[in-house]
Amino acid sequence: MKKILTTILILFTLIAAACSAAKPAAGTANQSLSAETKLIVGTLKLEGTAQAVTTEQASKLLPLWELRKELSANSAAAPQEIDAVIHQIQSTMTTEQIQAIDDMKLTQQDAMTFVQGQVSAAQSSAKQSSSQRNGGGFAPPDGGPGGGIPGTGSSVSTPATTTAKSTQAQSANSSNAASSSMIDLMIQYLQKKAGT
């Protein structure tokens, strides 16, 4: 759960950094998303609707998104290879699903709002899990033993610290890092959906 929360926090920070680095003019928050980002956010938003990805589709989509992740890590990958994988992903989905995603008319602002929702849900789930592990009692206060406070000898990093370090390390290529994090989120969703 901690890994998912950290991934979502990194994703949110990188999207925010990419948007602020671009210093968009007034009104550009409604710019369209790339086909890939639109597919990720749209597919996740279809969950709970009549057009949600089925278990069978998830099994077919999972290796395609894993291939897409491999290509993003390979600097020698040609744009045509990436386009071919995205096209294959679209072909694996139904016409109705693609139309439902198109009808969402997703923008950068929609993507950021969606990610914020994912962060809130993950934080809520993490707090609930923590409370259950502690028997409903009180958890140690932040900064207590293992809290990662300077001078205490603790080397534990908080998600915020991890996110900040990750953002600094990847600031030179924040758009690719955000894409990679979003792909990770998609892969986790499909793994759960496919039962793997």
Span 77-107, pLDDT tens digits: 899 999 999 999 999 999 999 999 999 999 9
The Cα 160–Cα 141 span in angstroms is 16
- 114 within domain boundaries: yes
Tokens 């968009």 found at: 24
Q: What is the rounded average pLDDT for all residues in the chain?
A: 73
pLDDT for 179 beyond 50: yes
The fraction of the chain above a pLDDT of 90, given in percent, is 38
pLDDT score of 15 more than 70: no
Number of structural domains (the chain) is 1
d(CA 47, CA 149): 39
In a domain, 71, yes or no: yes
Q: 3-state SS of 133-188?
A: HCCCCCCCCCCCCCCCCCCCCCCCCCHHHHHHHHHHHCHHHHHHHHHHHHHHHHHH
- Comparing 113 with 187, which gets the higher pLDDT? 187
Tell me, yes or no, whether 145 lies in a domain: no
Q: Evaluate whether residue 154 is within a structural domain.
A: no
Please tell me whether the overall predicted TM-score, pTM, comes out greater than 0.75 for this model: no
| pLDDT at residue 159 tops 80 | no
Structure tokens at 71: 């290509």
Domain extent, residue 53, equals 1-17+33-118+160-196
Residue at 85 is within a domain: yes
Q: Is residue 89 part of a domain?
A: yes
In-domain check, residue 149: no
